[in-house]
Structure 1
Amino acid sequence: MPHASSPDHSGQAITMQKVQPYGEDSLVLTTPATDQDGRLADRHSAYHDNLSPPLIWTPVKGAAVYAIIVEDPDAPRERPFVHWLIWNIPGEATSLPEGLANEASLGLIGGAVQGTNDNGTVGYFGPRPPVGHGVHHYHFQIFALVERLPFDEKTPLADLVNALKGDALASDDLIVTYEAAGA
C-alpha cells in the first residue's frame, strides 16, 4: 500500500518531458485558484463543482495559438491521467476564465478546441485522486505554438504531443496539488 504522502507514480513521462520548445521567449503560467501552498481550491475538483480554474500567462512573441494539457503523473496507473486538453487558444489571449463549458469547440475563445480527457468526456475533468492515496500533483502545461492545429476533440494525446514537438516556441509547467478529503 502506498504511503499517504507519497503516491505511486505512473510509469510514463508527462507531455512537458517530451516536448522541447525551440523559441527564446519565456512563458509563465499562473492561477489565482490555489492557496499559498499550491493546493487547488475544492470547487475545481471533480469531488465538488468540477470547474476549470482561471489561468493567466505571459504573452509569447510570434505565438499563433496556445495549447494546455493537464496531467496527473501520480495516478495509480501506467501512464499519467489526462485531465484536460485544450488547443488553438488565440495567440493574443493571455488568460482563460473559470468554468469553461465542456464543449469541443469554444467559439467565445476564438474557436479553441477541447479534447477528450481520460474520464472519457470532452473538456476539463478536475482532480479526483483516490481517497487515501495522498497528495497528487497536477501539471498544467502550456505551450505557445507557431500555427493552429488541425485536430478535433477526438484527437489522441500522442498526436497532439507530436504536433507540439515541431511547433512549440515556449512552454511552462504550473504544478498544483490536491488530496481527497478523508485521506
Structure 2
Amino acid sequence: MVNDPHWRLPDVPRFTLESADFVQNGPLPATARADGGGISPELHWSGAPDGTQSFVLTVYDPDAPTGSGFWHWAVRDIPAGTTELPAGAGTDGTLPDGAITSANEMRADEYAGAAPPPGHGAHRYFFTLSALDVATLDVPDGATPAVLGFVMRDNVIARATLVGTAETPAA
C-alpha cells in the first residue's frame, strides 16, 4: 500500500489548488528544495465552498524515512478571502494578516524545503489546503502540524491537494 496521508481523514468536497511553479505529480521547482533556497512555491486556489471562514495549509512528505513522515510547513487562520500565496510566503513573512505558522519538523516557523535523502527515490510533497467553517482555530502554542490536523478535523468543509515530487540521485 502506498502511504496516503489522507486515507483516514473525513470525506469532504474538493476544490482546486494549483501552482505556477509545478503541476500535479510533477517535480517541485529547484527553489522549493532545501539545496535550492528552500523557498515556498506560489499557490493559488478556487472553488472553496460557501461557508468557508478560513483555510489551513499543510505540506507533508509521507515518504520520508522516519516512520512518521516529515511536516515541511503548516499555516492556519488564513483569511477566507485569500486565494493565493506568492512564492516565498513561507520564508519571507508575506503571509496574509492573521495567518499563523506552526513549527515544522525542524522546529522553525517557516517552509522547510524538500530534501529527500540521496538514492531514496522520489518523494511526494502533499500541499493540502483545507477550507474551514471557523475563522480561527484554538491551537496550543508550540503545537505540531499533527496536533493542528487533529484540532481542525471537525471543522474541515472542503479540501484541495496538489502533490509535487523531488528526488536526490545517489552520490
TM > 0.5:
yes
Displacement after TM superposition at 1:44 (Å)? 0.8
Task: Identify the residue that residue 130 of structure 1 maps to in structure 2.
Answer: 117
Task: Identify the residue that residue 155 of structure 2 maps to in structure 1.
Answer: 167
Displacement after TM superposition at 1:56 (Å)? 0.7
Q: Residue 62 of structure 1 is aligned with which of 41, 51, 54?
A: 51
Unaligned runs of 5+ in 2: none
Q: Contact (CA 8 Å) 2:104, 2:144: kept in 1 or not?
A: no
Q: Residue 84 of structure 1 is aligned with which of 59, 73, 76?
A: 73
Unaligned runs of 5+ in 1: 1-8
Map Cα deviations across residues 15-67 of structure 1 (whole Å, 9 max, x no partner).
x3333155xx5311111112686111101110111101110111422111100
Displacement after TM superposition at 1:152 (Å)? 5.7
Scaled by the length of structure 2, what TM-score is found?
Answer: 0.87
Q: Contact (CA 8 Å) 1:67, 1:85: kept in 2 or not?
A: yes
| Number of residues of Structure 1 aligned to a counterpart in Structure 2 | 168
- State the superposition RMSD in angstroms: 2.3
Name the % identity: 29
Task: Identify the residue that residue 74 of structure 1 maps to in structure 2.
Answer: 63
Match of 1:87, SS? strand
Segments of 4+ moved more than 3 angstroms: none
Looking at structure 1, the residues matched to 105 and 34 of structure 2 have their Cα atoms a distance apart, in angstroms, of 13
Q: Contact (CA 8 Å) 1:19, 1:164: kept in 2 or not?
A: no
Q: Residue 115 of structure 1 is aligned with which of 102, 107, 131?
A: 102
The 5 Å alignment of 1:1-183 reads 14=5, 16-22=6-12, 25-34=13-22, 38-60=26-48, 61-102=50-91, 109-147=96-134, 148-151=136-139, 154-181=142-169
Scaled by the length of structure 1, what TM-score is found?
Answer: 0.82
